Homo-oligomer: A and B are copies of this chain.
Amino acid sequence: MKQVLDIPAELTGVQNWVLSGLVQVTDEIERALNSEVPAVAELCKQVEQFRGKMLRPTLVLVSGASCGISIEEPPPAELLRLAAVVEMVHMATLVHDDVLDEAEIRRRAQTINDKAGNESAVLLGDYLIAASFRLCASLSDPEPSRLIGKVSMELCEGELLQLQNRDNLSIDEPTYYEILEGKTAALVGACTRLGSRAGGGDEKVQNAMDSFGRAIGVAFQVQDDLLDLLGNEEVVGKSLGRDLKKGKLTLPLIHHLASLQPESRAASLTFLEEASETRGNGAPANTKQLIEALRSTGSLDYSRASAESLIGRAKDALTVLGIGPARSVLELLADAVLTRDR
């Protein structure tokens, strides 16, 4: 969590509780992936190098604390297990995503597909999914297994919808959001729902926490689109080019193209493609032209406002909770979505 946000002194209690919990979550994952087949064990070791900020387990833990789990005691076993489950589902999607994207590097480590081949990567992803379901089914509450099964289906639906809309330059906003709901928001919503459920939150609280999670999940992706363009001027052309090359439109582009008359849309697309193609070694003039085009239609402000509005809605959902340090941490995590630089 340290990596996710700077935390005020009065919230360090929650922070330390989460950090100690995450260590145990890591152990739990390692145990769940344990295999007597040496080839499998080796691949699992490799995949653990991709471990990032563990945002999803963090959300499970803090949601639990926000709904009544005491931070005076170590996190209960069932909460830790839930946190491990959502991270394992996430890891599985990363491994298969890298196959789909033919990615070679993730978090400075070689991807499974690049190191061991597509076949191993497909099978390892399957192994991770199976292990996460198995761990989830070991809980005394059957509800998480049902939800994780449902959410995993939504994940695939989101990815398949995205695939179907590849090269669809007239993709509209509802479809864009439908993709994000599936591929990102559903699992993040499950994190906050399951954490609050484990904490004893009733149906109303669980629904509100699900909305909170989904909203920050979508905002995270919208912010990702903006970071691709603005995060680092030196790579903007390249990023934009990569997305266009993959036939994947981001929110600023969708808004930009939708704002233009049909006649100028084709010209604008060609311009965008050419501009990104000629980038290469970072002539700032081109970068500025790209940003200028998006700015002329207000598409950057529009996307930024969309992300902010989602974070606003997310924090509104939290009013169902009593005021307390865990809720404050959830609010900070939501704000951090807008201020993060990757």
Q: Distance (Å) between the CB of A319 and the closest chain B CB?
A: 31
Contact, CB under 8 Å: B119 / A100:
yes
Closest chain B residue to A126, Cβ basis: B156
- Hey, which chain B residues are within 8 Å of A146, CB to CB? 134, 137-138
Complex contacts, A336 vs chain B, CB 8 Å: none
Min CB distance, A136 to chain B, in Å?
8
Partner of A124, one of B136, B155, B160: B160
Residues of the B chain whose Cβ atoms lie less than 8 Å from the Cβ of A164: 39
Could you tell me which residues of chain A, from 142 to 158, have a CB within 8 Å of some CB in chain B? 142, 145-146, 148-150, 152-153, 155-157
For A99, the closest partner residue in chain B by CB is: B122
User: In the complex, A92→B164 CA distance in Å?
Assistant: 20
Query: When each residue 58-97 of chain A gets 1 if its CB lies under 8 Å from chain B and 0 otherwise, what string results?
Result: 0000000000000000000000000000000000100010
Q: 3 shortest A-B CB distances, which residue pairs? A: A134-B149, A130-B152, A137-B145
Query: With contacts A39-B160, A129-B126 known, is A153 near B134, CB below 8 A?
Result: yes
Task: Choose from B118, B120, B134, B157 the contact partner of A127 (Cβ within 8 Å).
Answer: B157
A207-259 contacts to B (CB < 8 Å): none
Are A163 and B133 touching (Cβ within 8 A)? Answer: no
Cβ of A123 under 8 Å from chain B: yes
Interface size on A, residues (CB 8 A): 44
| 0 or 1 for each of A149-179: is its CB under 8 Å from B? (1 = yes) | 1101101110111011000000000000000
* A40 part of interface (Cβ distance < 8 Å): yes
A148 to B40, CA, bound (A): 19
- What are 11 sample pairs from A and B whose C-beta atoms fall under 8 A apart? A39-B164, A40-B161, A92-B126, A100-B122, A124-B160, A126-B156, A127-B153, A127-B157, A127-B160, A136-B145, A138-B146
In the complex, A182 Cα to B130 Cα: how many Å?
A: 14
Please give 11 more A-B residue pairs, beta carbons under 8 A apart, in addition to A92-B126, A130-B155, A133-B148. A39-B161, A100-B119, A118-B118, A126-B156, A131-B149, A134-B146, A134-B153, A137-B146, A137-B148, A142-B142, A145-B145
Of A39, A120, A145, chain B has the most CB atoms within 10 Å of the CB of A145
A122 touching B137 in the complex, CB below 8 Å, given contacts A40-B157, A155-B130, A164-B39: no
CB of A43 within 8 A of chain B?
Answer: yes
A201: Cβ under 8 A from any B Cβ: no
Per the bound structure, the CA–CA distance linking A163 and B40 in Å amounts to 11
- Interchain CA distance A43-B119 in the complex, whole Å: 21
